[in-house]
Amino acid sequence: MTWSLEGIPNHLADQVAETLSRSGNLSGAGRIWQALYDRNRGLVAADPTNTGWQRDLAVILDRIGDVAVARGRLDDAADAYEKGRAIAERLAAAEPTNTGWQRVLAVSLNKIGDVAVARGRLDDAADAYEKGRAIAERLAAAEPTNTGWQRDLVVSLNKIGDVAKARGRLDDAADAYEKGRAIAERLAAADPTNAEWQRDLVVSLNKIGDVAKARGRLDDAADAYEKGRAIAERLAAADPTNAEWQRDLSVILERIGDVAMARDHLDDAAAAYEKGRAIRERLAAADPTNAEWQRDLSISLNNIGDLATAQGRLDDAAAAYEESRAIRERLAAADPTNAEWQRGLSVSLNNIGDVAMARDHLDDATAAYEKGRAIREHLVAADPTNAEWQRGLSVSLNNIGDVAMARDRLDDAAAAYEESQAIRERLAAADPTNAEWQRDLIISCVRLAETGRAPRDNYARALEVAERLQASGRLAPSDAWMVEELKRRLSQSED
């Protein structure tokens, strides 16, 4: 027995699809929305002046995009959101006073930005987020008592900050996050019992801490994280059975540990990491089937491994990394199609390789790095458009090059570094605004030069990139030494 959408009104079909989506049946939801799109496109074509149908079509496209994102189909998502944006723009332009359509457009823009970020297109993302912010600001200014508009503006500002941070524009990022924090603080102060608003403020403080840390302002970072911790502790204490709040607290403790590590306050870092680990162990034990909580615990173990490495306790570090690897192996084995679990396992293998290198166990290091590389090659092959996977592979190749260097196998090292450099050149060219990728390219050029391959060319290329970053204000303060050092190396190198 089969049926189609014939005789089924739009609102009912939409509700069935939305219900399927909530129940986790994304492909089913996508099929219905696609069928609805096909049907409504015909109606819109027949009567382009009917704004109701236009709006329905924009909403359906938004839903199709959401499902595509959830299924990891970024090209399909971008296509749907762009079509939706075009309709929303027409509607908003035709009736600028209609706040509903303005908001539909702002949401569309944010989603386009999110997909652009996932595809590594930061310029496109920044462009979309800025447009979304402009609308959100207008709405919030027009109706300051509407907490929904205010909250939308916080979301927009956070997204703009995220992109600025990824592009190395840390001042811009800090500026956006601070503006978001100011609004979040007002909302939280207006209703201290509203846990969601308190939580928004924690998110803002975390982001401010992150950017302060990236700017090397560790005291500011610690200050922001501590403020966030105070709120998160209150929420967690108010309802110890609320796992999400417990998890929020563990995330802040992890950040506090990171900043303490960066300040070389290793005892403080240990205390924070251990508290975070204790929370995550409780959560993971309470529900061993919750993969996210298992993953959180593996991150805590990695942090503890990093701390032990910093303290020179390499055996302890190796043990923590191995524990983390065991969890990630279980996760990856339980769901081999989950790319995030695979990536997590490759990170653990890299950590194990790093400790083995530090202990001069070069065979163990090679084994771990090679396993990591194999996983990352597999990820890249499965989705060549994913910039994150490409970058991960380049890191693995650099690690393999490092081991070869330690063994004085300069040709092997050069081969690995060259492969890595090729990937990083591609990424850097694809998005010259991504400061992290530019920095990666500098490292690859330096490594290759150190093997004796075209040292002048490689140092020159590295210097060119570093100077460009510096000129645009995107060279991180902690990397300020790079330009002078590269100049020195270039002057001493020979062809």
CB of 458 to other proteins, least distance (A): 41
Is residue 48 packed enough to be buried (19+ CB in 10 Å), middle (13-18) or exposed (0-12)? exposed
Sites for other proteins among residues 356-375 (CB under 8 A):
none
Residue 34 · residue 26 · CB < 8 Å: no
Q: Is 319 in the site for other proteins (CB under 8 A)?
A: no
CB of 330 to other proteins, least distance (A): 6
Please name the residue that has the structure tokens 């050069």.
414
Give the three-class secondary structure for 433.
Answer: coil
Could you tell me which stretch among 126-134, 138-146, 169-177, 186-194 binds other proteins (CB under 8 A)? 186-194
Separation CA 173–CA 265 (nearest Å): 26
Q: Is 494 in the site for other proteins (CB under 8 A)?
A: no
Please name the residue that has the structure tokens 């610690």.
222
What is the size of the binding site for other proteins (CB under 8 A)? 42
Q: Which is nearer to other proteins, 325 or 373 (CB)?
A: 325
Q: Is 492 in the site for other proteins (CB under 8 A)?
A: no
CB of 148 to other proteins, least distance (A): 13
How many CB atoms neighbour CB 128 within 10 A? 26
Concatenated DSSP letters of 248-285: HHHHHHHHHHHHHHHTT-HHHHHHHHHHHHHHHHHHHH
Separation CA 120–CA 426 (nearest Å): 12
In sequence order, which residues have a C-beta less than 8 Å from that of residue 198 and are 6 or more positions away? 188, 192, 231, 234, 235
Sites for other proteins among residues 201-240 (CB under 8 A):
238-240
* Member of 189, 230, 310, 333 binding other proteins (CB under 8 A): 333
Could you tell me which stretch among 106-114, 250-258, 324-332, 473-481 binds other proteins (CB under 8 A)? 324-332
The DSSP code for 479 is: G
Q: Which is nearer to other proteins, 22 or 491 (CB)?
A: 22
Q: Is 329 in the site for other proteins (CB under 8 A)?
A: yes
Separation CA 158–CA 129 (nearest Å): 10
Q: Is 145 in the site for other proteins (CB under 8 A)?
A: no
Sites for other proteins among residues 18-47 (CB under 8 A):
19-20, 22-23, 25, 28, 31-32, 34-35, 38
Sites for other proteins among residues 257-316 (CB under 8 A):
285-288
Q: Is 56 in the site for other proteins (CB under 8 A)?
A: no
Kindly give the interhelix angle for 339-358 and 291-310, rounded to the nearest 10 degrees.
20
Query: What does the binding site for other proteins look like in residue numbers (CB under 8 A)?
Result: 1-8, 11-13, 15-16, 19-20, 22-23, 25, 28, 31-32, 34-35, 38, 191, 193-194, 238-241, 285-288, 323, 325-327, 329-330, 333
